[in-house]
Structure 1
Amino acid sequence: MNIRAILSLLLFSGFAAPIGALAPSAVAQDKGTLHPKPLPPLANPDDPTLAAKQLFGRKTLPAAGAPYVIGFYARGCIAGAEALPITGPTWQVMRLSRNRNWAHPAMVALLERVSAKARRDAGWPGLLIGDMAQPRGGPMLTGHASHQIGLDADVWLTPMPNRLLSRNEREEMSAVMMVRRDRLDIDPHAWTPSHLSVIRAAAREPAVERIFVNAAIKKALCREARGDRSWLSKVRPMYGHDYHFHIRIKCPPGNPQCESQPPPEPAEGCGAQDLAYWFSDAVLHPKPPKTPPKPKPPITLSQLPAACRQVLAAPDARQ
């Protein structure tokens, strides 16, 4: 089986074996800082064994040129990325110190639309936006195996307050846990019908390929959805995702080097057999392996599509 198929199965199918040892989960709760320090220069940036995340993590601006997606969600990069403004009429970006509010313009436009729908359909003032991508995409220094090509975005399941958050609040505020302590269902004190409205609004966007949520949230959506339920097929259980949901969009037209994943099965995925794995004891209470697995080596630049080398070398886009 080739690497692309393996990544698809492990990271994105929704029916994978545990991936905690494969890559860190998205860390919505990790706090940021008011005074981020620039990373020191690399002693040998041409070292072929150097982790690609060290190169992409040091780029603070996008590559000049038209938006162009290269590679797969978990192995690629993006040129000409656009920044989601850190404050909009119906959204605010969190953890500004990470500089991860970059994406393909199609994702930026989608978040703006969905945030407006959150106000109109769910009564939320708007959305709190978590990690999108780095200015040139690529592997991240911390968290996330995906989010590499500007087509992924995390949205907190905490409604945006009806006021402008301070910079300190954006770095320090924690998202609200939506899952019950036993991990078998949502927390009824945190979950509301409006959460369904927000996730449904995102899933109904034609460009959306998948939405990842904790299995307990998928269970609640299956139980509570009324009327047209076809959007449920896009909502997939995934490890973590109990404070936020993850939106993934399809490869935009005119990006032939963007590698799509197969579309999800049209079934709702709400049957007992669909969710049984996620609530099994092996998943909820995994036993530590007798022999700790060796850490996997990080992705190097040579393991990314060749065009990502040009993205790294390109001049900064004018801001």
Structure 2
Amino acid sequence: MEQAGRSEARSVALAALVNACLHNHSVQKATLAAGGLAFALATLSLEGKDRVLHVPPLVAARSAGLLARLSPLPEALEAMARPGVVDRIIQATVRSSTLGGDLYTNATRAKRVDDAADDLAAAAETEAAATSAANAAERENLVRVLGSILRSKPPVHTAACDDARRLGSPAPSSNVPGVTTTNDGKDKIVTTARQLKLAEALISFLPPAREDGTEGVTTTSVSLRPKWLAPPAVTGNVCVCLLHLLNGEGSGHIATQIVDAGGIPRLISLFANSGGEGGALSARTNAAICLAKLARDPMHKQMIADLRGMEMLVQVGAGLPV
């Protein structure tokens, strides 16, 4: 009971802090100075039994939300992009992939209306929907933060770190309260192993393309509406992250991981089923650019063409680097 009370207090406090930080740089700076970034990172970094016992889904969601609220601050974004820190954010994002891709249908499913107020089945379904909603919010915020970090590449600290290493001095550490970074010269913004895990996780966040019976994904089924949809805020930032991981290359380990994880049909499906205005249009554009980058590899280009992906890209116009 005492543990539940502490968790509820943390959840309420985090909600108030996240709301207060919205479009308010003064509050964002004060939160950063008070160790808010360090607290959110520590919360999201817990794994296994510690995570289950001490971090309810809503607390995790609001901790990720706090990271997202602080990310517009250059000093916060710089701290999050540092070696050791970004790895913790990636680890939390990869962990989210173990929950499955479709958190959104469960989160938005209409709750049952029962005559009996103490219907245990209804209560269980309501709790499951709340958990899915919290997990979905955590994922959305983590992907948003990663998108901001990767957009900021090359990170602000890189030149200073390289200069320090050439002189044989330790790399500069973060000035953000409570946030420590590694000084290992082998560290990069994302290590190759983590890049591969992250790429696979990101692809799992995109809805799978529809299949045509026993034939699998076909030129017809790939354009059909997927069985579940992710919010444009998720799909758009997923594509932004994939673009930066690919780094202009259509081949190599990252591209192979994306393809092996089913990235081509998912990206084509996203492209075919997104549009309109705002985030959905941005997600569609970024999906097209991801496909165009993958198409620089002849084998990947043929896989895209086999699902009419190249035809779709050509129809978009000449503005994409196909």
* TM-score w.r.t. length of structure 2: 0.25
Q: Which has the larger radius of gyration?
A: 2
More helix by share: 2
